[in-house]
Amino acid sequence: MSTQFSLTTEQRALLDHADKFAREQLYPLAAKMDNEEWWPEDLMPMLGELGFLGVTVDPKYGGAGMSMMDAGLILQAFSRYNHAAALAWVAHDNLCANNIYKNGSEAVREKFLPKLCSGQWIGCLGLTEPGAGSDALGSMRTRAVRDGDDYVINGAKLYITNGPVADLCLLYAKTEQGKGSKGITAFVVETDTPGFRVAQKLNKMGFRGSQTAELVFEDMRVPAANIVGVVGAGHQVVMSGLDFERSLIAPINVGIAERALHLSIEFAKTRQQFGQPIANFQMVQSRLADMYVWKETMQTYCWSILAAVSDVDETQAGRGEIHAKTAASVMYCADTCNKVLDNAVQIFAATVISGNQKSTGCFARQSCWRSARAPPKSARSSSAASYSNRIPTWTHATRVKQALPVKSNSRLA
């Protein structure tokens, strides 16, 4: 970053490029994806062809070789216009492909990454289980037992983003019993492997175009050569990947908040009551001012954490200050995005529930996102305990008095 609070010329160009693509190509898909839980089969190949896949993967495997900061900017732009496609993208590109790139052997990288980077294959991450949410490692029941050159895996995973459409799954299973959150191993599993089954496609309240599933494994044989990382040390892969994931989940909230603010300003300028636009009313101006401040603080904090995590490798992630900061980033951005959307709902009033696609598409989906992606209370508690002595008291002492101007040729139009 050129300064502590701004983008470089190259980063700004990347954000604008991704914004233009999302506005022209992803936005037209959003309504059908949400209304019908439809998945566009040509989406990932198109993203791969345009260089939007394998963003953080080395070009030798078909990736773009860019930073986590660059990936976050792409995700922010995508989320402005199609948050379901954005979620599918980050699950594929970060949770699956980036994890394999960071932790996989050379043989695993060469075998699987090119197809993920081209969009020929769609990736997912298999961690959460029906009885294991926040305690995903300690409560894991999926088992992998060594049998010759293979592991035989039995178990189930739940709430798996991209699960119904995935060709490849980065799967975590217990290989050593009685070790709590340890004794876990990560495997790369092709979804056409015998014993791999999509038990059900979940019908969600929000982010409906992002395909989500329960996966079941019944005597599924996976070659030992498909192990990612070290046998019994999958918890290290999980924890290091978690920091990258959290830093990249936060921009989804920023993109949604940007779009909600833009739509709210446009609506306030055109909605007439008492013979004038409601944007003239001080209460509406106050809400818009708060939304703007929240959006700006979200973006600044999100970008600062993305810049920091771009300089962290897999041996440094999962512990220390960066672990707390990435958790704080997604926690703050998820909570603050909901505040932005709550205000937007008040401005739109009954329009939100009357079938207006622009407003409902932005607002009505966010409560699902908050419960699904904000860090668990345990993460909040540990972050607070670590940094309670450093958090300054800050009060909102001033407020912008006028509604924010919107240019007619706004990129978010």
Query: What's the average model confidence in pLDDT over 308-330?
Result: 76
How many secondary structure helices (H) and strands (E) does the chain include? 13, 10
| Tens digit of each residue's pLDDT (9 = 90 or more) over 185-210 | 999 999 999 999 999 999 988 899 99
- pTM, two decimals, is 0.85
Number of domains, the chain: 3
**On the CB side of 247, how many CA atoms lie within 13 Å of its CA?**
31
Q: Band of the pLDDT at 8, cuts 50, 70, 90?
A: very high
Q: Band of the pLDDT at 391, cuts 50, 70, 90?
A: very low
Is 252 inside a domain boundary?
yes
What integer pLDDT is reported at residue 361 of this predicted model?
54
Is 410 inside a domain boundary?
no
Q: Band of the pLDDT at 4, cuts 50, 70, 90?
A: low
Does 156 share its domain with 291? no
Is 404 inside a domain boundary?
no
The CATH number assigned to the domain holding 258 equals: 1.20.140.10
What integer pLDDT is reported at residue 283 of this predicted model?
95
Q: Please, which residues have CB within 8 angstroms of residue 349's CB and are 6 or more apart in sequence?
A: none
Residue where a domain stops, chosen among 228, 250, 279: 228
Is 117 inside a domain boundary?
yes
What integer pLDDT is reported at residue 58 of this predicted model?
97
SS3 398: coil
Does 20 share its domain with 74? yes
Is 394 inside a domain boundary?
no
Does 318 share its domain with 248? yes
Domain encompassing residue 219: 125-228
The label of the residue with tokens 């038990």 reads: 199
Q: Band of the pLDDT at 395, cuts 50, 70, 90?
A: very low
**What does the alpha-carbon distance between residue 108 and residue 224 come to, in Å, rounded to a whole number?**
11
Does 62 share its domain with 98? yes
Does 348 share its domain with 291? yes
Is 409 inside a domain boundary?
no
Residue where a domain stops, chosen among 228, 262, 279: 228
The CATH number assigned to the domain holding 73 equals: 1.10.540.10
Active site residues: 245
What integer pLDDT is reported at residue 38 of this predicted model?
95
Q: Please, which residues have CB within 8 angstroms of residue 216's CB and are 6 or more apart in sequence?
A: 155, 156, 197, 198, 199
Does 383 share its domain with 240? yes
**On the CB side of 242, how many CA atoms lie within 13 Å of its CA?**
25
What integer pLDDT is reported at residue 358 of this predicted model?
57
Query: What's the average model confidence in pLDDT over 298-314?
Result: 87
The full DSSP string for 322-345 is HHHHHHHHHHHHHHHHHHHHHHHH
Query: What's the average model confidence in pLDDT over 259-275?
Result: 94
